[in-house]
Amino acid sequence: MSKNQNKAKKSFEKFLANSEEYIKNFEVKEYVLPKISLEVDINRYLIRSNPILEGQIAAKYTYGKGADGIVKINFRNNSFISSKEAVAERIFSFKMVDGKLNFSEKLVLSETRGYYDALVTFIDQYSGENVTQTVLFYIIETEYYISSDLYEFELNKNNTLNVKATWASNGKPYSIKAFESTLRQKINYSAKPDSEQKIFFKTDLNGSAKIEFQILDERITFIEILISPVDAEKQVTRIYLYKKRNHIETERPFTIDKSFLPSIEPLNINWLNQDQSVTTQSLLKFRLSRLQSDQECYIARYLVLSKLSIIEYEIFEMCDESDIQIQLDERFGPFSSLVVYFLDEHKNVTTATHQFELSQPTENYLNLSFGSEVVRPGDLVNLTMNTKDYSYISLCVIDKSLELIQETNEFTANQFGQQINQLKLNPYYQSNYFPMDDAFFPRRFPGFWQRPKAMLDLNNEGLVVLTNLESLNSTLADIYPVYQNVPMENAVFKEDMNYDVSTDKNDQIRKDFREIWIWDTYKNGDKKNFSISSVIPDTITSWVVSGFSLNQQHGLAIANKTQITTFKPFFVSMILPTSLTRGEILLLKVVVFNYFDFDLKNVSIEFLKTDDFDTVNGKPIDKNMVHLIDSIPAGQAQTVQFVISPKKIGLLKLSSRAKCDFAGDTEQKFIKVKAEGLEQSEASSTLINLNNTNHTINQKIVLPKNVVNQSESCYVQFIGDFLGTAFNNLNRLINRPYGCGEQNMLDLTPNIYALNYLYSLGSSKIANMERLIREAKENIVYGYQNELKYARKDGSFSAFGESDPSGSSWLTAFVLKSFCQANQFVNIDQNVISKAAEWIIAQQRTDGSFNEPGRVIHKEMQGGVDSNQTISAYITISLLESNLESKPILKSIKKSVKYLEKSINLVKKNSYSMSLISYALNLAKSKRASRSAKLVGKKLNKRQNGNIFIDEENESSDIEAASYWLLTNLLRNNVDESVRIARALVAKSNSLGSYSSTQNTVLALQALSQFALKYKFSEKNSVKISVSLDTEHLQDITINEANILILQQIKLPTCAGSVQIEASGYGSVLIQVVKNYNLVKVPKTRNRIFGLKQNFIDKNDRVLHVETCARSFNETGMVVIESGLFAGFEVQKKDLDGISAQSSLIKLAEQSADRTKVAFYLDQLDFDWICINWKMYRTHSVENLQPVIVKVYDYYNIDSEIDYFIAFFIEYY
């Protein structure tokens, strides 16, 4: 995955019993690994009358040592309130020592009721790295809770009510507090008090107390007790008691401590051999005993349930005791239940249940262990695996820093247990069932109807009971109010590991900083204990190992995570930003850590000489830059700073070294340096066909005048199959953001055409074939599962899923076609396909056209008088290419074809609509197919030098129209016309083999792949090519049948002069001359339709508040605004997630994969300005910041409609 620097979607499937499928989606992106973990444990419950901000915070480096620095807590009210009200916001600052902080501060809350949060930021003392967490708070209007153990009283007896008071904020005892209680006696619930009695009490150290009273009046049926503190602000707690009745008790749903309730179980199940390990071969022994024997014997029954099925059913005689034996076998799942019941002479049902589970969900196991807990960087490490023999073991060992970025994605032993636990839940009353859910509340009596215990037992085991027995009917249960305590977990800080701090005089060069150490699968054969050895990377960190074992006989086992730490007592660390732009000045922080138990004297820190960087004065670094430190105390660190500036572009190496008399360490890292200005790329494509002939191409390399110095790079690339360029770049066909449901299809649809074509070649001798097929299938799976995020409950799809007001007919048709075509290569849920098809058919009007209830982000589809015809033609094509043959679909196609036949004359002036309708009619074999093709031919056949003319002003839509025209000619077997169109499309492809948008890329690849399948120009290739630059011979290459899918490149020594390419032999070759460069100035917009501006409206030491505004003078489709980030600045995901709330037009905000820019997606723009407010956070010290590019464009017309804005940091900061 690391090879793909663009956003990739991955999925993880888990299969359990009952053929249930669980899917987890995740993304792989570029990142900068954090090195500090932050554990925040703040009391989240604030009492309004006395709010205290208190808690514990811990910060640790990933290798286990505590971090020193500053903790800032920004406490704020995030409610939506009137601007006239003051917002309670306070900033607290604390110094953290040894990685631990305890704090307690008094707060003042505003009168506004809402929610509060706190942004906790830790800033490392040495590196300046900051880590943040957000904590949400709950405002508690009461100070304490009171719970009781009594819900009824008895007449003419001494009644004792045990109460317990706890702090509402943390659940601790509300001790040594004086209360007064008022006991009100009532004849019934709604009556006025008949009498009142004052009782005073004080809680003990445990917060407990007793209230004793006696009721002598037999008329009293209801007691209300009001409890409030003495001499304090009144907070009243009410407890209700009812006169004890003589009826069968039912379990009270609100009870916290069940010990308060009397036992009502008349039947007991005792597991006699419970101490044994339970396997699928175990014999379980149970003894049934009646607790209230009436000397009668009854006919009883027992059921054994497992995996939601009845495994055993037996009838037996139940007297005082009976024994039951259950022999387990393969039918039993991880969780099973024994249910016993009988009917007495009064038709009362007595039940008892007992659950049992297998000792292991499966018989397999996996234990992982390292030979040592702590090793040095670059050591050879042994990892031992203990599992069943003949198992497959998959291991993943990653840098712990990866877990700090976001929640890990691996399937853990705990998650496995949770998934297994689902098997013991019955389908009728799930784990979130609350007994009050099926309660019926009478209007005039305080209580609720509740199922009797026997019915609860049967229902909770998944049994549906159909009966007319009165004993199983619901009964009236009294209300029993008990106030829940609010738990407060104390922070647990792990003790520091004991490291070997022996001296290390070796000056080790650390340069292997992989984040993934091991990612592999092993087979252990007949060895239960199996070991591997591997050199651990050089990162000073902890490594987390996880894995699972899969055995054909014994099943799945997942190991508990374990760790190993790479550490040395003396090391150096460079703090680098994500990237730099040439000309910027980096204040490079280098931190030296001393974890010896003694001070180090005379420590030197060096930045090693290099040709890639200059000093701040522009002088070359031709010798080491040195800082001397007199002393570094034991257990501490020192930071020095080197001021450097990159003078080259590319991936540049930096090396720093620290040494003293006892130890030494050298760290070598790389940083990406970009050229200043606006990145540009051009590709000139030529498709040649040889038949034992020669062909010569002469092309002069010309660059614009305002090219940034040294930013240019030029090369010539060749591939024997003109589709091979795209197939080699399936993961990055479009170098633009794609975060909506339609753009995501680029991960899926082109791969379908690639597989169709690759399988047609049918030669195992072709290099790259297996890799391309494997990657294409993986891309389809990832694209399919990610697209499901944009599915709606009604079966439709839309650009942003459920956040859109409705589904889109256009996008749903696109998805339907793609899913149906992908089904031959991967498993696609047929329910998704059928629901999407049903939804589309439901959108068809009586005249055969299709309604579009959603917003179409494709401009060519949405505007003008032809919108009904184009969308209807598009949907008809999708239904036809889906090859679904149900009667409703065939009927729908027939109606839509009739509508399109009538519409062809209405769109004569629109070549795009004409080509779309003509292809639909030809695909449907309509009677008017020939006539429609002739009309399109006259419209589209504007030729220059024999080729189809694609207008640069409308290139995006012209490519789509030409693609539909090529598909039409392939259906009509027009060879000459097909070749001309194919040449025109290939000539417009870029260096990745793609085009400017999702739709024109997908359509062009569909048309070109079908063209290649039909005519197979690449079937026999043997071409020799010679490349020269200004008569200087550069290189010869050969293209043959074995390497037709390998992209071969020759880099030109300079981007000036004339390139001469001579080809001879037979076969086809795609030749592309590619120019990459940066412009000093942005190009002028030909037809300015956008307005764009960016301001920096606020600033402080760490945060830059940005306002980006845009508008349009014309109608647009979906618009994207991109803004670069200044070097040393980042954005936070939580900020981006909240941006869509600023306007209904803003659908999404996301950061680019390389973390250098952000993109904002808008439904559309009009003449009114739309402003987006967002923040950049400073993470590294960089000076002389180069300007960043801000641009706005219509996603589906990027070539002709784009506007730029240059944001200069110096003007605003």
pLDDT digits (tens, 9 = 90+) for 641-682: 999 999 888 889 999 999 998 899 999 999 999 888 888 888
pLDDT of residue 1070: 85
Residues 842 and 888 in one domain: yes
Find, among 1183, 1191, 1189, 1190, the residue nearest to 1213 by Cα: 1183
Contact 16, 307 (CB under 8 A): no
pLDDT band at 1043 (very low <50, low <70, confident <90, very high): confident
Beta strands in 307-348 (DSSP E): 309-318, 321-327, 335-343
What amino acid occupies position 843? Answer: Q
End-to-end CA distance of the chain: 39
**Structural domain includes residue 413:** no
Tokens coding 1052? 């030109």
Q: What domain count does the chain have?
A: 8
Q: What average pLDDT does the segment 320-344 reach?
A: 88
Q: What is the CATH number of the domain that holds 53?
A: 2.60.40.1940
**Structural domain includes residue 618:** yes
Q: What average pLDDT does the segment 1046-1057 reach?
A: 89
Spatial separation of the C-alpha atoms in residues 655 and 609, rounded to whole Å: 8
Q: Which domain holds residue 590?
A: 570-674
Which residues have CB under 8 Å from 770's CB, separation 6+? none
Helix axes 911-923, 929-940, angle to 10 degrees: 150
DSSP string covering 837-866: HHHHHHTB-TTS-B---S----HHHHSSTT
Position 765 pLDDT exceeds 80:
no
Percentage of the chain surpassing pLDDT 70?
Answer: 80
pLDDT of residue 1027: 93
Find, among 193, 211, 195, 192, the residue nearest to 146 by Cα: 211
Pairing of strands 130-140, 45-47: parallel
Tokens coding 1043? 């390497």
Residues 389 and 529 in one domain: yes
Backbone angles phi, psi at 23, to 5 degrees: -120, 135
pTM for the model: 0.63
- Summarised one tens digit per residue, pLDDT across range 736-760 is 445 577 767 766 788 888 888 778 7
**Structural domain includes residue 324:** yes
What would you measure as the largest C-alpha separation in the chain, in angstroms?
119
- Summarised one tens digit per residue, pLDDT across range 895-935 is 999 999 988 888 877 788 888 899 999 999 998 888 888 88
pLDDT band at 450 (very low <50, low <70, confident <90, very high): low
Find, among 1069, 299, 1120, 1053, the residue nearest to 690 by Cα: 1069
Residues 919 and 957 in one domain: yes
Distances (CA, A) of 486 to 146, 169, 1195: 12, 6, 51
pLDDT of residue 56: 94
Spatial separation of the C-alpha atoms in residues 709 and 730, rounded to whole Å: 32
Spatial separation of the C-alpha atoms in residues 691 and 794, rounded to whole Å: 56
- DSSP H/E element including 73: strand 69-77
Torsion of Cα atoms, 1098 then 1100 then 1102 then 1106, to 10°: 10
**Structural domain includes residue 1043:** yes
Position 7 pLDDT exceeds 70:
no
Spatial separation of the C-alpha atoms in residues 387 and 153, rounded to whole Å: 60
- DSSP H/E element including 606: strand 600-607
Residues 743 and 695 in one domain: no
Q: What is the CATH number of the domain that holds 516?
A: 2.20.130.20
Q: What average pLDDT does the segment 111-129 reach?
A: 81
**Structural domain includes residue 940:** yes
Residues 171 and 220 in one domain: yes
Position 19 pLDDT exceeds 70:
no
pLDDT of residue 859: 52
Last residue of a domain, one of 1016, 1040, 1072: 1016
Tokens coding 903? 């519409």
Pairing of strands 144-148, 52-61: unpaired
Spatial separation of the C-alpha atoms in residues 139 and 116, rounded to whole Å: 8
pLDDT band at 1000 (very low <50, low <70, confident <90, very high): confident
Backbone angles phi, psi at 637, to 5 degrees: -140, 160
Q: What is the CATH number of the domain that holds 288?
A: 2.60.40.1930
Spatial separation of the C-alpha atoms in residues 283 and 327, rounded to whole Å: 5
Residues 746 and 888 in one domain: yes
Tokens coding 960? 């789509």
Residues 1076 and 1110 in one domain: no
Spatial separation of the C-alpha atoms in residues 910 and 903, rounded to whole Å: 12
* Lowest-pLDDT choice from 138-147, 331-340, 525-534, 921-930: 138-147
DSSP letter (8 states) at residue 407:
-
Distance of CA 514 to the CA centre of its chain: 23
- DSSP H/E element including 1120: strand 1119-1124
Spatial separation of the C-alpha atoms in residues 850 and 837, rounded to whole Å: 13
∠ CA 916-920-921, rounded to 5°:
120
> How would you label 542-567 residue by residue, b for 16+ Cβ within 10 Å and e otherwise?
bbbbbbbbbbeebebbbbebbbbbbb
Tokens coding 1023? 């071409």
Distance of CA 95 to the CA centre of its chain: 34
Find, among 32, 102, 97, the residue nearest to 67 by Cα: 97
Residues 65 and 136 in one domain: yes
Q: What is the CATH number of the domain that holds 635?
A: 2.60.40.10
Tokens coding 924? 């449907």
Find, among 337, 333, 370, the residue nearest to 555 by Cα: 333
Q: What is the CATH number of the domain that holds 946?
A: 1.50.10.20
Residues 605 and 731 in one domain: no
**Structural domain includes residue 18:** no
pLDDT of residue 687: 83
Last residue of a domain, one of 101, 125, 140: 140
Q: What average pLDDT does the segment 539-550 reach?
A: 91
Residues 790 and 848 in one domain: yes
Burial tier of 456 (Cβ tally within 10 Å: 0-12, 13-18, 19+) = middle
Residue 70's Cβ-side half-sphere holds a number of Cα atoms within 13 Å equal to 12
Backbone angles phi, psi at 256, to 5 degrees: -85, -50
Position 326 pLDDT exceeds 90:
yes
Residues 952 and 924 in one domain: yes
Contact 528, 388 (CB under 8 A): yes
**Structural domain includes residue 6:** no
Mean pLDDT across the chain: 80
Spatial separation of the C-alpha atoms in residues 1213 and 1185, rounded to whole Å: 10
Distance of CA 1023 to the CA centre of its chain: 47
pLDDT band at 384 (very low <50, low <70, confident <90, very high): very high
**Structural domain includes residue 469:** no
- Summarised one tens digit per residue, pLDDT across range 1137-1186 is 888 889 888 888 888 877 888 999 888 888 899 999 999 988 888 988 88
Residues 920 and 792 in one domain: yes
pLDDT of residue 242: 83
Last residue of a domain, one of 970, 995, 1016: 1016
* Lowest-pLDDT choice from 490-499, 701-710, 861-870, 1043-1052: 490-499
